[in-house]
Structure 1
Amino acid sequence: MMKLEDLLMQSTQQKCRRTALEEEVEKLQHRLTKELKINSVLRYALKGPVLYYPPFSSLLPLKAQTLLAELEVVEKEIICLEAKLKRLKISLYKEKKLNKEAEIKQQRKCLEMQVPCKLHMHEERKDLHIWSPFCRMQNSIIFSKTHVCNK
């Protein structure tokens, strides 16, 4: 009889052990599913902007959720800064273009101021001496404007 009781007892212990193992397997499967989802969220976050990570990120631990939220804020700031940088580059390009156009205009103006007086001087040579008071005044104006333009 002892053997029958031992056998029954052993059978009951095996059933309890089997049930405990099945419960543990179920818990581990649940944990594995959760870990796979977390893995998916983290992989997605590594591949692209956190702004678009899947909604099941709530499965992440609180510290990881906090870090992802901070990362999202930083990414938004980077996007804003990149847009601002693009606008500034365009503005700088336009300003350089305007400055170049103004410089060309100024050079043309300087040249225009020089050419008429030179023509006047050639005309004066026919009738007057180039060092007449009128020509000296014109020459001094040309010199001062040329001197300013070449700086």
Structure 2
Amino acid sequence: AGAGEWLGRVGLATFADRYPHTLSGGQRKRVALAQVLIRDPEILLMDEPFGPLDAQTRQIMGNLLLDLWAADRKAVLFVTHDLEEAIGLADRVVVLSAGPAARVVGDFPVALTRPRDIAEIRLDPQFHALYQRIWSCLRVEVSRAYANGPA
């Protein structure tokens, strides 16, 4: 697939002639996602990719990522501090310990049905039960991080 097709897949086909500085933050994130996916990587590494976006745009981007994932089932390693986002997007949530010597302190499979909608999945009772289980583990790590002061 070429650049034009990828712009279409991320919902920006009509913006192909625009300069980057004229795009919104969410549109720039979609361009960045297309730039990565056009290379057809075996694994997609995403570190807080939706962090600076507003809540509504984060939901749109999350649903876009879910749709693109469903189309070709790439492996995605998605780093986030947003537990709801992690559960909504993932098949598995891994919690790391605080500090420079990070280690895995929790590993939770996400058995929520697919396809998913980021806004709707948060209403599912299974989502809430899983959120509580993961938050119990995460709360300990957050408390440790605060007790040890700023990093």
Higher RCO by CA contacts (8 Å cutoff, separation 6 or greater): 2
Please identify the structure whose Cα radius of gyration is greater. Answer: 1
Higher strand share: 2
Higher helix share: 1
TM-score, structure 1 as length reference: 0.23
TM-score, structure 2 as length reference: 0.23
